[in-house]
């Protein structure tokens, strides 16, 4: 690795040549304040707060965007820099409403922290706010242009990380707003509701649609039987909202918290992840072995991804697994199988899903298949962040809660179910069961290393007793394009498909870094959450979906077998081409 | 039959808009009518620079300089001058001194000028490549391709010490060298013709008057750095320049001077035009490149500099029009020749667009080091209407003011920066005693606020905040703290803005605060506008001892604010008065005064 020698505040340091000044300073434990910078994104260099001095130059440069060079000498802090940064923060504050107390980001707002760090005690400049209404058009997120500080993170996330281009800079100069092109409403735009914009927004300008009140109303209603499911990725992230380490497995505590919040039954989406594998795995084996459908088969459990595919790659609809997402399967069996077993009238069941994701709020009403039980299968989706707020408001000491168990008969899960929470997990879980379906033998080592890790696109092959299954895994929506183009290309040329099975998750790292997860997610935190997920899998006695006893029971008592008529009715869905811009 | 007279008609945008095309047609027709069409060649040239006096018609070999010519004058010019050999005196610029001659060199406007960049403007027909070639056009390209190595060319530019004319004055040879040094298959050459400073039109005039000089220079750069493609990014509001560039490119391709195997060598290079949509910020090089790529025109952080990572991330040489126009001369005459013009700090000449309260507004090209006094008083003929000089704004809306005390400063990059201004692209706007410095500063800031791209917060928010403070001050609502605040914001914008637009936008404020703080204080403390410009701070009154009661003012007042009987002293009702100033202009007796 090539390195350079440089000085920061007089201290000599040798750093890799591809470092920025900001990174080099971090190595010396010097904190340069930033606002628009986010480690997930290429430096945008907009806010002007991370400016530093280059020795012997009258200019200041942005630490986030300035590459290090041999012999460079940098001053990161002095009274002049302090004054310039402070003035810039004051200027930004003059266009930002002073409504911290009623803002969703109160207490974890990056602008608020900067103002506090710089000891800003007055508003020296005339306050000018933008009088633009909120965009509440999607079921998932709310855009509040009044609070927007134009840092550009959301637009860059949407364009660079997700490749969606729903958000763009519209207008010029002080009239610049970040909005969908041509100022259409977000719901009429290409937006896939992944919520990465809301997870990256440093202030409260993009926020998940808060539905905590709906939950509280439901648990207060004695008529309602509130049945909650918890998604795989929630358990390794929710602890962060209570100052626990990222990746700490909080499954039992989350169940306990939900019960204390008034849930009548607590289930686990991991159960339905196992169910998904039974359906999707069987579907795959059927396509792969018997040629009953298009290859590659592509996973469909991520609602942001299915939305993207319906808009940008409708020609791939036949490649999609018809299996619903675990959340929707769980909803459907809650209001049928569980209602039956527990002798509860399904119309009284209020089905809630705790999800790491904002797109899930959109998924529950996306089409008529989401009412398979005869009712709306999932009535409410709360993100991890919303649940954390509910827990805090309820005075629950989350960290010290007892670790409780989920309720039967749809609460037990295998290690395969839990790894749905991160990139590669669905694929690995499917392989574990497909192996059994194809060979009628259990896999020896169930860990499929080829599909693990943070690389944007992972390609590999799995050997099922001499048969090669070519697989690919993509995460971060922008990474999927090349993969799909490869398939289109092969199809055009009449070649064999380059892959048999593809897993796609819209968010970088998978659901563990979903748009509804606790703030400040970085690759470091993603890694820790992923380690938590794999730990949960390793801790599991049962590590394959088909070995989950409750899965066995639901097929025996209710569904008969994977891809049965009942399965099709409750657990499978259809896809339709959607327009990128509705208008 | 041999040509005995050349009639040169200015075809620059300003003269075109004063019907110079009609003049041209009428001249051609008149020549035919008089039977002299074979002996006279009528040429539509580029800008003469003396725009104040346009449309301009010059006749060679007598060098007669006709000004403010109208289409109907064409016949007389042909009948009198061409046929009878008698100058049309009423159209000559130097009417009094023109008993015998009316030569260009006698005109003071041209005396201190030295034309390198504008060498062909007003001399050749820009739409005929042969005329460019006849003036040694493409000699430099031929020399470069066949006699010089890329290193020789860079060495020549180094000797010339040419600095970028776009504003910052970065040494051109270093830019080219950076790009040349990068090993890369694909490189680009870009011409920045997105001229946008209010009142500045040197690039437009160069392209309209001598488009081949830019094409030739870009081709030389392509050869030097190893690029095969060039782009000219020009604002769509310059239709004439675009048309002439297109014609020039076609002709150059026909002649084998552009395209594949230039001059039969194995060097190939071609140029495409890209139109800007009118965003000032696209004159900033990284925003310009983004715009060519089809992205929103927003600046990108530097480094990496375009020379290393530019258009579509490939090494790119980007220079502005005026810089390009210098290149062929340097290659032809040598860097040494060029470096003898100008000062130690800045070599060569600089073209300025001289405007404002000046007698001879127009385009002037002077050697670097010429003093402001020479430009304003000798070339520009001094302040219009014999008013008092107040200041001159150099460097466009992002420059600063220079006061009377510094009129003898030689103009070069270094000195202008020392004075808190800058070279910029060469705008030069003269202000007189009637200009309110706060009001003028507000105008410049209004421009940069409108043109901010909105990306970085110091520029986006700081600019507007400064503007609003200035507006309050001009309304008499300023407070003393505003002075400190403006300096604080200005400093933060200079240091923390992403691109040159934001970094220089506060210059007008900071420099006027430095030289005219008193005038700010008059607005803030005394609630007075010394220049009588800021409406909220002035009122119109009638002097009893001067008013004769002629009623002229009362009749002209659009809101009926003036009352008074015939032959009696009039008075203005201040509540009704809208301060339009018509009474002041109307009164012949000096009875209206501004307080």
Q: Tell me what pLDDT residue B424 has.
A: 82
- Model confidence pLDDT, tens digit, residues A316-360: 999 999 999 999 999 999 999 999 999 999 999 999 999 999 999
Cα A191 to Cα A41, A199, A358, A538: the distances in Å are 19, 15, 12, 36
Say if residues B557 and B516 touch (Cβ distance below 8 Å).
no
Q: Are A451 and A503 in contact (CB under 8 A)?
A: yes
Question: In angstroms, rounded to a whole number, what is the distance separating the alpha carbons of residues B506 and B488?
Answer: 10
Active-site residue, A280 included: yes
Query: Contact at 8 Å (CB) between A452 and A419?
Result: no
List the single residue in A with minimal CA-CA distance to B472. A126
For B495, nearest residue in chain A (alpha carbons): A60
Cβ–Cβ below 8 Å for B491 and A169: no
A413 or B302, higher pLDDT: A413
Is omega for the bond preceding B510 within 30 degrees of 0, making it cis?
no
| Number of neighbours of residue A485 by Cβ within 10 angstroms | 11
C-alpha dist (Å) from residue B351 to A239, A311, B262, B382, B415: 67, 54, 31, 18, 17
Helix or strand or coil: residue A510?
coil
Nearest to A87 among B296, B468, B488 (CB): B488
Distance CA B437, CA B429 (A): 13
Q: How confident is the model at residue A12 (pLDDT cuts 50, 70, 90)?
A: very high
Cβ contact A94–B461 (<8 Å): yes
Of B450, B488, B495, the CB nearest to A51: B495
Selected catalytic residue, list A147, A193, A335, A360 = A360
pLDDT at A451: 95
Among A34, A88, A512, residue whose Cα is nearest residue B458 = A88
pLDDT at B97: 53
Residue A70 annotated among the catalytic residues of the structure: no
Residue B321: what pLDDT? Answer: 96
Q: Which of B420, B451, B456, B477 to mutate to test the interface with A (most CBs of A within 10 A)?
A: B456
Residues A492-519 pLDDT 10s: 999 999 999 999 999 999 999 999 999 9
Contact A84 B495 (CB under 8 A): yes
pLDDT of residue B37: 87
Record the tokens describing residue A399, joined without a space: 């960290």
A325 is catalytic: no
Q: What distance in Å separates residue A454's CA from the closest CA in chain B?
A: 26
| Binding-face residues of B in 439-458 toward A, CB within 8 A | 449-458
Please give the average per-residue pLDDT across A248-268, as a whole number.
98
Cβ-based contacts of A128 with chain B (< 8 Å): 464, 468
Distance from CA of B414 to the nearest CA of A (A): 14
Catalytic annotation, pick one of A110, A240, A363, A550: A363
Return d(Cα A130, Cα A147) in angstroms, integer: 8
Largest CA distance in chain A: 79
What is the DSSP code string of A298-362? E----HHHHHHHHHH-GGGGGGB--BPPHHHHHHHHIIIIIHHHHT--GGGEEEEEEES-SHHHH
Residue B45's DSSP bridge partners are B10
Show which residues on chain A lie within 8 Å of chain B, measured between beta carbons.
43, 45-49, 51, 59-60, 62, 65-67, 80, 83-85, 87-88, 91-92, 94-95, 124-126, 128, 149-150, 152, 168-169, 171-176
**What pLDDT, in 10s, does the model give residues A360-395?**
999 999 999 999 999 999 999 999 999 999 999 999
Based on the residue annotation, tell me whether A283 is a catalytic residue of this protein.
yes
User: What integer pLDDT is reported at residue B13 of this predicted model?
Assistant: 86
Picking from B449, B450, B496, the nearest residue to A84 by CB comes out as B496
User: Does residue A174 carry a catalytic annotation?
Assistant: no
Residue of A280, A310, A386, A550 with catalytic role: A280
Residue of B nearest to A85 (CA): B492
Catalytic residue among A272, A321, A325, A351: A321
Cβ within 8 Å, pair A92-B457: yes
Of B523, B495, B524, B522, residue with least CA distance to B510 = B495
Residue B370's pLDDT is 94
Closest chain B C-alpha to A57 CA, distance in angstroms: 11
Gap between the Cα atoms of B457 and B438, Å rounded: 24
What are the per-10-residue average pLDDT scores of chain B (595 residues)? 84 88 91 89 88 88 88 90 87 64 71 91 92 93 96 97 89 96 96 90 94 97 97 95 97 96 95 93 94 94 92 97 97 95 94 92 93 93 92 89 92 89 87 94 95 96 97 96 97 95 94 95 95 91 92 93 92 92 92 88
Q: How far apart are CA A506 and CA A514, in angstroms?
A: 8
In angstroms, rounded to a whole number, what is the distance separating the alpha carbons of residues A318 and A310?
11
Say what the pTM is: 0.91
B495 at A interface, C-beta within 8 A:
yes
Burial of residue A544 (number of CB atoms within 10 Å: 0-12, 13-18, 19+):
buried
Pick among A17, A130, A156, A172 to test the B interface (most B CBs inside 10 A): A172
Catalytic residue among A511, A540, A545, A550: A511
* Number of residues in chain B: 595
Q: Which chain A residue has its CA at the smallest distance from B450's CA? A: A173
Predicted pLDDT at B95: 61
Chain-centroid distance of CA B474 in Å reads 28
How buried is residue B581: exposed, middle or buried, by Cβ count under 10 Å (0-12/13-18/19+)? Answer: middle
Distances (CA, A) of A136 to A144, A186, A215, A355: 9, 8, 19, 20
Tokens standing for residue B427 = 């705008």
Mean pLDDT of chain A: 96
Q: Which of A247-251, A263-267, B247-251, B547-551 has the lowest mean pLDDT?
A: B547-551
């Amino acid at each position: 690795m090539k390195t350079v020698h440089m000085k920061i505040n007089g201290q000599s340091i040798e750093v890799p040549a591809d470092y920025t000044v900001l990174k080099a300073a971090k190595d010396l434990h010097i904190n340069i304040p930033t606002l628009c910078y986010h480690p997930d994104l290429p430096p945008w260099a907009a806010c002007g707060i991370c400016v530093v001095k280059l020795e012997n130059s009258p200019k200041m440069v942005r630490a986030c965007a300035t590459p290090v060079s041999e012999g460079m000498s940098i001053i990161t802090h002095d009274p002049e820099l302090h004054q310039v940064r402070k003035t810039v923060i004051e200027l930004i504050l003059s266009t930002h409403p002073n409504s911290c107390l009623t803002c969703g980001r109160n207490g974890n707002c990056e602008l608020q922290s900067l103002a506090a760090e710089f000891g800003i005690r007055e508003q020296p400049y005339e306050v000018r706010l933008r009088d633009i209404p909120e965009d509440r058009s999607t079921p998932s997120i709310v855009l509040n242009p009044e609070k927007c500080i134009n840092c550009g993170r959301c637009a860059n996330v949407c364009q660079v990380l997700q490749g969606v281009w729903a958000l763009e800079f519209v207008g010029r100069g002080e009239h610049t707003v970040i909005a969908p092109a041509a100022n259409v409403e977000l719901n009429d735009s290409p937006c896939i509701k992944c919520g990465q914009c809301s997870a990256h927004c440093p202030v409260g300008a993009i926020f998940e649609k808060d539905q905590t009140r709906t939950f509280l109303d439901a648990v207060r209603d004695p008529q309602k039987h509130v049945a909650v499911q918890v998604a795989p990725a929630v358990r390794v992230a929710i602890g962060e909202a209570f100052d626990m380490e990222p990746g700490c497995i909080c499954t039992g505590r989350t169940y306990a918290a939900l019960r204390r919040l008034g849930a009548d039954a607590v289930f686990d989406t991991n159960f339905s992840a196992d169910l998904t594998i039974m359906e999707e795995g069987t579907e795959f084996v059927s396509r792969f072995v018997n040629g009953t459908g298009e290859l590659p088969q592509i996973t469909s459990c991520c609602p942001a991804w299915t939305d993207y595919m319906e808009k940008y790659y409708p020609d791939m609809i036949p490649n999609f697994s018809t299996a619903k997402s675990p959340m929707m399967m769980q909803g459907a069996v809650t209001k049928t199988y569980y209602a039956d077993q527990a002798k509860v009238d399904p119309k009284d069941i209020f089905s809630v899903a705790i999800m790491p994701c904002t797109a899930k709020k959109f998924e529950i009403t996306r089409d008529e298949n989401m009412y398979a039980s005869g009712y709306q299968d999932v009535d409410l989706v709360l993100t991890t962040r919303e649940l954390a707020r509910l827990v805090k408001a309820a005075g629950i000491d989350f960290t010290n809660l007892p670790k409780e168990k989920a309720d039967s008969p749809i609460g037990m899960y295998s290690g395969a179910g839990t790894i749905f929470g991160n990139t590669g997990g669905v694929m690995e879980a499917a392989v574990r069961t497909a192996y059994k379906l194809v060979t009628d033998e259990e896999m020896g080592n169930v860990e499929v290393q080829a599909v693990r890790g943070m690389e944007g696109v992972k390609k590999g092959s799995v050997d099922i007793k001499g048969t090669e299954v070519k697989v690919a895994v993509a995460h971060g929506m922008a990474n999927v394009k090349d993969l799909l183009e490869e398939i289109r290309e092969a199809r055009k040329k009449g070649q064999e498909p380059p892959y048999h099975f593809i897993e796609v998750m819209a968010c970088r790292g998978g659901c563990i870094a979903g748009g509804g997860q606790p703030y400040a997610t970085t690759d470091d935190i993603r890694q820790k959450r992923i380690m938590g997920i794999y730990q949960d899998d390793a801790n599991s006695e049962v590590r394959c979906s088909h070995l989950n006893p409750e899965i066995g029971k639901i097929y025996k008592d209710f569904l008969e077998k994977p891809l049965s008529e009942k399965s099709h009715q409750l657990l499978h869905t259809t896809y339709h081409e959607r327009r990128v811009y509705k208008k | 039959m041999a040509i005995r007279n050349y009639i040169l008609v200015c075809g620059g945008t300003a003269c075109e808009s004063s019907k110079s095309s009609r003049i041209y047609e009428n001249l051609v027709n008149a020549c035919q009518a008089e039977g002299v069409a074979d002996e006279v060649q009528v040429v539509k040239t580029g800008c003469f620079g003396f725009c104040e006096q346009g449309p301009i018609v010059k006749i060679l070999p007598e060098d007669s300089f006709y000004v403010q010519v109208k289409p109907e004058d064409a016949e007389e010019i042909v009948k009198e001058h061409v046929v009878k050999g008698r100058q049309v005196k009423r159209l000559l610029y130097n009417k009094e001194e023109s008993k015998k001659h009316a030569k260009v060199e006698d005109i003071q406007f041209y005396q201190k000028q030295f034309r390198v960049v504008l060498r062909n403007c007003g001399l050749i027909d820009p739409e005929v490549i042969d005329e460019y070639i006849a003036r040694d056009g493409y000699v430099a390209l031929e020399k470069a391709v066949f006699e010089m190595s890329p290193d020789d060319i860079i060495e020549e530019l180094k000797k010339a010490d040419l600095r970028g004319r776009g504003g910052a004055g970065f040494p051109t040879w270093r830019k080219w060298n950076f790009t040349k040094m990068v090993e890369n298959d694909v490189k680009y050459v870009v011409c920045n013709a997105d001229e946008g400073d209010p009142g500045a039109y040197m690039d437009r005039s160069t392209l309209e008057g001598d488009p081949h000089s830019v094409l030739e220079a870009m081709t030389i750069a392509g050869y030097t750095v190893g690029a095969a493609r060039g782009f000219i990014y020009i604002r769509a509001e310059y239709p004439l320049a675009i048309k002439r560039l297109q014609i020039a490119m076609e002709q150059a391709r026909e002649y084998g001077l552009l395209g594949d195997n230039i001059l039969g060598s194995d060097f190939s290079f071609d140029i495409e035009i890209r139109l800007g949509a009118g965003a000032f910020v696209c004159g900033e090089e990284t925003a310009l490149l983004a715009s060519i790529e089809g992205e929103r025109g927003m600046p990108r952080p530097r480094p990496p500099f375009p020379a290393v990572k530019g258009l579509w991330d490939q090494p790119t040489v980007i220079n502005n029009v005026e810089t390009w126009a210098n290149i062929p001369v340097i290659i032809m005459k040598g860097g040494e020749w060029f470096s003898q013009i100008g000062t130690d700090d800045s070599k060569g000449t600089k073209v300025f667009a001289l405007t404002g309260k000046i007698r001879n507004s127009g385009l002037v090209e002077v050697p670097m080091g010429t003093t402001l006094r020479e430009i304003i008083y000798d070339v520009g003929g001094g302040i219009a209407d014999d008013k008092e000089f107040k200041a001159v704004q150099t460097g466009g809306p992002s420059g600063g003011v220079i006061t009377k005390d510094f009129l003898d400063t030689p103009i070069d990059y270094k000195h202008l920066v020392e004075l808190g201004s800058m070279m910029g692209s060469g705008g030069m706007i003269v202000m007189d005693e009637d200009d309110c410095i706060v009001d003028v500063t507000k105008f410049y800031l209004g421009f940069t606020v409108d043109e901010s791209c909105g990306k970085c917060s110091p520029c986006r928010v700081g600019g507007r905040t400064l503007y609003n403070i200035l507006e309050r001050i001009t309304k008499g609502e300023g407070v003393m703290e505003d002075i400190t605040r403006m300096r604080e914001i200005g400093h933060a914008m200079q240091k923390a803005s992403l691109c040159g637009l934001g970094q220089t936008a506060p210059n007008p404020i900071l420099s006027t605060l430095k030289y005219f703080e008193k005038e700010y204080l008059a607005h803030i403390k005394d609630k007075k506008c010394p220049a009588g410009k800021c409406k909220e701070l002035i009122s119109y009154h009638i002097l009893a001892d001067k008013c004769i009661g002629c009623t002229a003012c009362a009749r002209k007042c659009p809101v009926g604010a003036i009352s008074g009987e015939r032959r009696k002293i009039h008075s203005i009702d201040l509540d009704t008065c809208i301060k339009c100033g018509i009474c002041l202009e109307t009164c012949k007796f000096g009875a209206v005064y501004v307080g």
